[in-house]
Structure 1
Amino acid sequence: KAKRCTMVTFESLPWACRLIEFGKNVEILGFKDTLGASLLKGKECNLTKPIIETTQYILGEKPKVRHVQNYIAITLMAKSIVHPPIMYGKWSQWDGKPLSEKPLFYQGLDERQAELLSGVSDECVATAKAIEKKVPGLDMSDVIHVFDWYLNYYSDQITDKSNLMMAMRTNKAYDGLVHPMKEIEPGKYVPDFTYRYMAEDVPEGIVPMKGIAELAGVSTPYLDEVITWCQGKLNKEFLVGNKLTGKDLKDTRAPQKYGYNKLEDLFTGSFEVTPR
């Protein structure tokens, strides 16, 4: 059946948004200007409607849906790279004492958190460049640094574009968004490491990125550092040293989980990697 299907994947959500009432009400805090999408087309799939255009119709005028050549680029572009480095940078030195208020997440970014995020992004860009050299005909140019991504996607909502830290701190779409916290008693808060920023963005986001980098032969010291701390908070083992050989790799979406142990494995099968 998979041969007759086409999978569409997006690099991010179309908006910065938060749930108000489940199934009824969502607050949209800001629109992205553009949104990358890739298609993984089964070789026996005959599309009857234009997917990108149909998606654009559903979303409306913004964001502008942009066709990205292949799904590996989308995976390395995914904005799941943002949350884990910030969580690590914020809480790795925490003394364990409850806070009296919830700290700002994006707009509370400091230099250390920005360095970690930038370092992880550098490694994703390096991975994309390495893959492009090794796989003929593959276009990985859509994989850009996260700072450039913010300037492109939130151009009219950022007031200080001097560097990554200030771009995130002055992004109006992030006004008031705080760290995921648990209230352990009235007015006392501790970080919630079970929130999706960790529970989803690590095994389904940065671990797959690490897996792709590993297949491409790219060193990832920043990713390794972030994953090592995060997996401890999740009580999981994905990374052993700097290799994805942990006992809980089965709980991730890393390519190694599926038996993909060579770079070329990502580009073979009953599908078209770069459908047009």
Structure 2
Amino acid sequence: MVIGICGGGNIAHSLIGLLGSDSSNEIRLLTRKPNEWQKQICVINREGEDLIGKLDFVSDDASQIISKCELIILALPSQARESVIKQIAPFVAKNTWIGSFPGMGNFELICHKHLPLSEKNIRIFASQRVPCIARVSKYGEEVVMTSKKDSMAVATLNPNLIEEISTLLSPLFDMQILPLNNFLEVTLSTSNPILHPARMYALFKDIKADEVWGENPTFYESWNLESSEILIKMDEEVHTLLDKIPFDLSGIKPLLEHYDSANAEELTQKLSSIQAFKGLLSPMKKMDKGFVIDLESRYFIEDISFGLILIKDIAHLFSINTPTIDQVIYWAQDLLNKDYLLAGKLEGVDCVDLLLHPSFSISSPEEFLNFYQ
């Protein structure tokens, strides 16, 4: 199969290693830094055998990469997807599958806006979470994978196509594909857009943006009870929203259930002891005198500006109050020096830079539901 990968981060490296290790696949990479990639990508697997994935073509020119692809996977931050989708749109072939790993951040709305879906029978899918946990050790050459999932939950924009994409992806990734009921089970997933902001709020809420720390704390190993309590409250607000939407969204499990925990204490113990998360540091950057919050980290830009705020946008459509989510957004926008949320509504001047639903001509619950039914 001819597979196109768009991106250059941890997941892109991992996908090339995983999929390129099968000689029957041709791997084509669209990236901003084509000259920094080797012909092969090594996956150092902490849980099994290492892999070598071949990279057949690499370019920053979409016309050189995309037209021959049968399957295209975006492994990009949420804020980068629209520009890349617009870049590849003229070159996507008929009957191509296009997916995002993961897919929250209004990926499906961007595709609907910029891709000729009907004219070329382009099929859209996305995963609820990433297929593995990995970190680049040598850019364009080597990635360390600390955990490859046994299964991956996937949704399609057209629910009738879920069996087809599941059958396609399962042997490619050598894992069980769990079909989701509706694409909203990706869009409203309570993974990183809830998980990371809850922890950051508990960790940083009482300090200034330029305050210097002597060390950078671990993000998960030092996870505390307050982080869990905030996370649970935010998760409950999302599930209040889910109860208002008349679709089967049972594929979004309450986080206590997802992490097999009965309460905040057990959730704290669980999150602080996950082996794949060991050693992951908080979003801070090294300065001469110590560490300060990294406001350009994906934990802020992707998980808040293009994650949590988009969940808030949907909650507003359905008139759902989200006091804890609002609290975290107010804190984050003050740090970022942005005006998003005003008096509980996303009416700040900086909302123009976000992918809110009105920019996709969706401004009522009825228009929203019509898109996903």
**TM-score normalised by the shorter chain: which range applies?**
0.7 to 0.9
Residues 6 and 42 in structure 1, CA contact (< 8 A), matched pair in contact too: no
In 2, the alpha carbon distance for the partners of 1:78 and 1:128 equals 11
Where 1:9 maps in the other structure, the secondary structure is: strand
Aligned to 2:202: 89
Aligned to 2:187: 75
Q: What amino acid is aligned across from residue 88 of structure 1 in structure 2?
A: Y
In 2, the alpha carbon distance for the partners of 1:2 and 1:226 equals 36
Q: What amino acid is aligned across from residue 251 of structure 2 in structure 1?
A: D
Residues 11 and 78 in structure 1, CA contact (< 8 A), matched pair in contact too: no
Paired residues, what number? 252
Aligned to 2:171: 57
Q: Percent identity?
A: 25
Among candidates 188, 207, 210, match of residue 312 of structure 2: 210
Distance change >3 Å, CA 123–CA 32, structure 1 → 2? farther
Aligned to 2:239: 125
In 2, the alpha carbon distance for the partners of 1:198 and 1:23 equals 25
State the 1:97 CA deviation. Answer: 4.0
State the 1:260 CA deviation. Answer: 1.4
Residues 73 and 143 in structure 1, CA contact (< 8 A), matched pair in contact too: yes
Aligned to 1:102: 216
With structure 1 as the length reference, what TM-score do the two structures score? Answer: 0.83
Residue pairs, 1:10-21, within 5 angstroms: 10-21=127-138
State the 1:205 CA deviation. Answer: 0.9
State the 1:117 CA deviation. Answer: 1.1
Residue pairs, 1:17-56, within 5 angstroms: 17-41=134-158, 50-56=164-170
Aligned to 2:229: 115
Structure 2 residue 117 is matched with structure 1 residue 2 = yes
State the 1:101 CA deviation. Answer: 1.9
Aligned to 1:135: none
Aligned to 1:258: 360
State the 1:162 CA deviation. Answer: 6.0
Residues 362 and 368 in structure 2, CA contact (< 8 A), matched pair in contact too: yes
In 1, the alpha carbon distance for the partners of 2:150 and 2:351 equals 35
In 2, the alpha carbon distance for the partners of 1:253 and 1:142 equals 24
In 2, the alpha carbon distance for the partners of 1:118 and 1:255 equals 26
Q: CA RMSD in A?
A: 2.4
Which segment drifts farther, 116-125 or 247-256?
Answer: 247-256
Residues 211 and 256 in structure 1, CA contact (< 8 A), matched pair in contact too: no
With structure 2 as the length reference, what TM-score do the two structures score? Answer: 0.63
Aligned to 2:294: 192
Where 2:345 maps in the other structure, the secondary structure is: coil
State the 1:33 CA deviation. Answer: 3.8
Where 1:178 maps in the other structure, the secondary structure is: coil
Distance change >3 Å, CA 52–CA 78, structure 1 → 2? farther
Where 2:130 maps in the other structure, the secondary structure is: coil
State the 1:59 CA deviation. Answer: 1.7
In 2, the alpha carbon distance for the partners of 1:168 and 1:256 equals 36
Q: Which has the higher contact order (CA 8 A, sep 6+)?
A: 1
Distance change >3 Å, CA 256–CA 166, structure 1 → 2? farther
Which segment drifts farther, 202-211 or 257-266?
Answer: 257-266
For each residue in 1:66-107, what CA deviation from the matched residue of structure 2 results, as whole angstroms up to 9, or x when unmatched?
A: 111111221111412111121111111126542222101012
Where 1:16 maps in the other structure, the secondary structure is: strand
Residues 106 and 174 in structure 1, CA contact (< 8 A), matched pair in contact too: yes
Where 1:142 maps in the other structure, the secondary structure is: coil
Distance change >3 Å, CA 257–CA 197, structure 1 → 2? same
Aligned to 2:250: 141
Aligned to 1:155: none
Residues 225 and 265 in structure 2, CA contact (< 8 A), matched pair in contact too: no
Residues 159 and 182 in structure 2, CA contact (< 8 A), matched pair in contact too: no
Q: What amino acid is aligned across from residue 182 of structure 1 in structure 2?
A: K
Distance change >3 Å, CA 93–CA 163, structure 1 → 2? same
In 2, the alpha carbon distance for the partners of 1:128 and 1:105 equals 28
Residues 2 and 42 in structure 1, CA contact (< 8 A), matched pair in contact too: no
Q: What amino acid is aligned across from residue 128 of structure 1 in structure 2?
A: L
Where 1:82 maps in the other structure, the secondary structure is: helix
